[in-house]
Amino acid sequence: MYYSAILNMKGKKTVVVGGGKVAERKIKALLDACADITVVSPDLSDHLFRMHQEKKISWKQKTFEKDDVNGAFLVIAATNEREVNEQVYQSCEAHQLINVVDAPEKSNIIMPATFKRGDLIISVSTSGKVPGLARKLKNNLAEQFDEHFADYVEFLKEGRKRVLEEINDPEQKRIVLHQLLDKSFLEASNEERYKQLEMLLNANRSSE
């Protein structure tokens, strides 16, 4: 059984074992999350090598050894050799997060198929059983929640902050926060949203 959560990976020590395409996909998401990434692999793909040259990741140019995972918050075994991935798994302590790309049953963390729209994060997982389905559902949802949702979520964040600061009555706060989720705000232009917000705040401030 898995427990869904969103991790703050900023500055967290992360070890990725493997330097190929699978490792690339994992590392891209980790870079977006500002993780502190070390790759352990005799070789790197061209893309990962550029990341290393740009000092976005650290690289241990070597085969994996048990000590390579010391102190890591998250470990990802992403080689194309099952024996090496098993060695990585066996090297981790019980408190460490470990994802084994070819053995989800040994992983205590599963990376879902994810996309972002600003602060909105939508993830889909099949508990590692059918990753292709998770990707397909993610792509379908990405079409539904397109790029303009980033502005919409930012508006809701700012609107919520102002409601909490400017309306004193708890029941009025609850009502106005619910009104901000009305479909009309989603469909309006960004400029129109803020005009409607001002009207809503003015009306509810004056009624107190």
Cα–Cα–Cα angle for 136, 138, 142, nearest 5°? 120
pLDDT of residue 67: 98
Look at residue 207 in the predicted model and tell me its pLDDT. Answer: 54
Return the pLDDT at 204.
87
Q: Number of C-alpha atoms within 13 angstroms, CB side, residue 176?
A: 28
* Upper half-sphere CA count for residue 44 (Cβ side, 13 Å): 20
Among 41, 37, 31, 45, smallest CA distance to 14 is for 37
Q: Which CATH number among 3.30.420.10, 1.10.3720.10, 3.40.50.720, 3.40.50.150 corresponds to the domain 13-110?
A: 3.40.50.720
pLDDT in tens, the chain (208 residues): 789 999 999 999 999 999 999 999 999 999 999 999 999 999 999 999 999 999 999 999 999 999 999 999 999 999 999 999 999 999 999 999 999 999 999 999 999 999 999 999 999 999 888 999 999 999 999 999 999 999 999 999 999 999 999 999 999 999 999 999 999 999 999 999 999 999 999 998 755 5
Which alpha helices (DSSP H) does 54-104 contain, by range?
82-91
What is the CATH architecture of 112-145?
A: 2-Layer Sandwich (3.30)
| Cα–chain center distance at 134 | 15
Q: Are 62 and 40 in contact (CB under 8 A)?
A: yes
- What is the spatial distance between Cα 70 and Cα 92, in angstroms, rounded to a whole number? 8
Q: How many CA atoms lie within 13 A of 122 on its CB side?
A: 20
Instruction: Spell out where the chain has E strands.
Output: 13-17, 36-40, 58-60, 74-77, 97-100, 113-117, 120-124
Q: What are the domain boundaries of the chain?
A: 13-110, 112-145, 149-206
- What's the pTM value of the predicted model, to 2 decimals? 0.87
**Rounded to whole angstroms, what are the CA distances from 2 to 85, 87, 122?**
21, 23, 17
Residues 49, 101, 33, 190, CA torsion sign = positive
